[in-house]
């Protein structure tokens, strides 16, 4: 057991007729964890064209996970609003990323965003090794939600669905070193809430 027979990588072997110790894998061999049967899930493409459907249903959990991953990997350059005014470009990075809210990217299919995250684009590096495919799709869903949120109108809200409350009113604006103080609620505000 102390001295077992072995071959160094790519060394000569008299056992095989071609005298190579390294053997090619059997046809159809797939490494563990590399069986990508659903090509669309792993590429975002149908044939050579980007697809425009999510490979799974979009739920609140998907959007929350997408927001979390987006804020970690994407927001430093693209900003939390997706307008391209992130921290990195504001510090003198050579090229500012495009806003997700321009017409070209609003019309782009979902598979396009998945492909850009996976393979990079221009000076943006690829994130395939850092973000698993499921999280990349979660980010894509969140980017689409960001796009919809910036141009949404009251007409886009389904009938019967509550619209978020009015933004808070402030009594005193903050100074930059202090937070703004909320204005006290008036009785008319409370009655409006009760009437709803």
Could you tell me the two tokens for 155?
């007409």
Domain ranges of the chain: 39-151
Average pLDDT over residues 101-112: 94
> pLDDT tens across 48-60, in order?
999 999 999 999 9
Residue with the larger pLDDT of the pair 171 and 27: 27
DSSP-derived 3-state class of residue 46: strand
Long-range (24+ apart) CB contacts under 8 A made by 116-123 are: 118/43, 118/44, 122/95, 123/94, 123/95
Could you tell me the two tokens for 36?
């990508």
For 39-151, CATH number out of 1.10.760.10, 1.10.10.10, 3.90.1580.10, 1.10.1060.10 equals: 1.10.760.10
- Total-model pTM: 0.69
Q: Mean pLDDT across the chain, nearest whole number?
A: 86
In this predicted structure, the answer to whether residue 1 has a pLDDT above a threshold of 80 is no
> pLDDT tens across 119-156, in order?
999 889 999 999 999 999 999 999 999 998 887 787 87
In this predicted structure, the answer to whether residue 112 has a pLDDT above a threshold of 90 is yes
């Amino acid at each position: 057991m102390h001295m077992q027979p072995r071959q160094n990588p790519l060394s000569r072997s008299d056992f095989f007729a071609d005298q190579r110790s390294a053997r090619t894998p059997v046809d159809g061999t797939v490494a563990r964890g590399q069986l990508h049967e659903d090509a669309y899930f792993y590429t975002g493409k149908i044939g050579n064209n980007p697809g425009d459907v999510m490979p799974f249903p979009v739920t609140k959990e998907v959007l929350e996970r997408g927001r979390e991953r987006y804020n970690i990997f994407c927001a430093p350059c693209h900003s939390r609003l997706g307008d391209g005014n992130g921290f990195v470009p504001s510090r003198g990075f050579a090229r500012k990323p495009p806003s997700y809210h321009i017409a070209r990217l609003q019309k782009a299919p979902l598979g396009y965003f998945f492909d850009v995250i996976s393979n990079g684009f221009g000076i943006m590096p690829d994130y395939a090794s850092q973000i698993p495919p499921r999280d990349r799709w979660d980010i894509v869903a969140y980017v689409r939600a960001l796009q919809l949120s910036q141009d949404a109108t009251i007409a886009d809200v389904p009938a019967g669905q509550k619209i978020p409350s009015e933004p808070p009113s402030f009594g005193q604006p903050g100074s930059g070193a202090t937070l703004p103080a909320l204005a006290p609620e008036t009785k008319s505000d409370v009655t409006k809430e009760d009437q709803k």
